[in-house]
Amino acid sequence: MIIVMKPEATEEQINFVSEKLKKHGFGVHFSRGTERTVIGAIGDKSAIEIEAFSVLPGVSEIIPIRKPFKLVSREFRKEDSVIKLNKNVSIGGKSPVCVIAGPCAVEGRDEIIEIAKEVKAAGATALRGGAFKPRTSPYSFQGLGVAGLKYLAEAGKKAGLPVVTELMDVRDLKHVVEYADVIQIGARNIQNFSLLKEVGKVKTPVLLKRGAATTIEELLMSAEYILSGGNHNVILCERGIRTFETYTRNTLDLNAVPVIKKLSHLPVVVDPSHGTGKWDLVEAMSLASVAAGADGLIIEVHQHPEEAFSDGGQSLRPETFARLIKRLKSVAQAVGRNL
């Protein structure tokens, strides 16, 4: 349930309600908007008399949250959440559409620095690159590990971009937090609840990708794991789902963008690279994603896709990416956004 405090409620009254909830065994989470403070009470409602809380000083009303996801829901927070990737870049709300670009994998120091500078010059607002790579085949390139993280961080600093990279194993969390601005939880780990609990304990923003066979509700429930651990800096990512269609790598579910925005206050980005698996479809799906209301895009870009260690077939060349950015600006303007 959520307890809505009156606009004029004092800090003393807010703290009194919070402490009373904690004494009854509730987890307490705050959402402070421009007009009201909301206290999310996570726990067994039968443990208290709700009427007793409704008459406490400063309390306006008590609203039960009917959805299985609580902290993620619009009922808990009506305003869009804005997540800061670093001091210069934010995503969500009225922030400019965030474009995260870079290669699927960090392949070397010189290569990642070069591509970082190129995507920055084209208009990207963040750099992506995998140091730990989940691959279907155990014989495929698995990433450079911590060395790759260091190269990625160096490239980000040289280009002036925050960096996004995937975390696969909780044992690598300390390294990813040290070198990256955003932790990506990939589609394969969407329901790795032990991993989600651990990233819930840090404050680094988390980009949570929808799984190939994950419903929207399951995506939101996975996000709930992270928020319930204390990390409210979560960005949701639609990256395609598995259907009977085989022409594309996945079926990019753009319905998910407005649906998630209706159900949740968290920012939504779209990954048209994994969503289609074909570089020549990325532009159309990127434009459609922004038109549908996406807060950001994550796009694979490589200098020489034919030589890429992974996902070359869905990677844009830097010059193609630069042309896409120009077209994206027009679409963003048409739907009242900036890029």
Q: What is the 3-state secondary structure (H, E, C) of the chain?
A: CEEEECCCCCHHHHHHHHHHHHHCCCEEEEEECCCCEEEEEECCHHHCCHHHHHCCCCEEEEECCCCCCCCCECCCCCCCCCEECCCCCEECCCCCCEEEEECCECCCHHHHHHHHHHHHHHCCCEEECECCCCCCCCCCCCCCCHHHHHHHHHHHHHHCCCEEEECCCHHHHHHHHHHCCEEEECHHHCCCHHHHHHHCCCCCCEEEECCCCCCHHHHHHHHHHHHHCCCCCEEEEECCECCCCCCCCCECCCCHHHHHHHHECCCEEECHHHHHCCHHHHHHHHHHHHHHCCCEEEEEECCCHHHCCCCHHHCECHHHHHHHHHHHHHHHHHCCCCC
Return the bridge partners of 27, or none.
42
The pLDDT tens digits for 115-156 are 999 999 999 999 999 999 777 777 777 788 999 999 999 999
The pLDDT tens digits for 145-170 are 999 999 999 999 999 999 999 999 99
For domain 83-334, which architecture applies? Alpha-Beta Barrel (3.20)
Distances 322 to 249, 301, 304 between C-alpha atoms, Å: 24, 10, 15
The gap from C-alpha 325 to its chain's centroid, in whole angstroms, comes to 21
The pLDDT tens digits for 183-229 are 999 999 999 999 999 999 999 999 999 999 999 999 999 999 999 89
Tell me the average pLDDT across 1-24: 88
Is residue 173 scored above 90 in pLDDT?
A: yes
Distances 329 to 55, 56, 99, 258 between C-alpha atoms, Å: 51, 50, 11, 20
Give me the residue spans of the domains in the chain.
Answer: 2-63, 83-334
The 10 Å Cβ neighbour count of residue 292 is: 18
Whole-structure pTM over 0.75, yes or no?
yes
Q: Which residues contact 246 (CB under 8 A, 6 or more apart)?
A: none
Tell me the average pLDDT across 297-318: 96
Tell me the average pLDDT across 177-184: 98
2-63: in CATH 3.30.70.1140 = yes
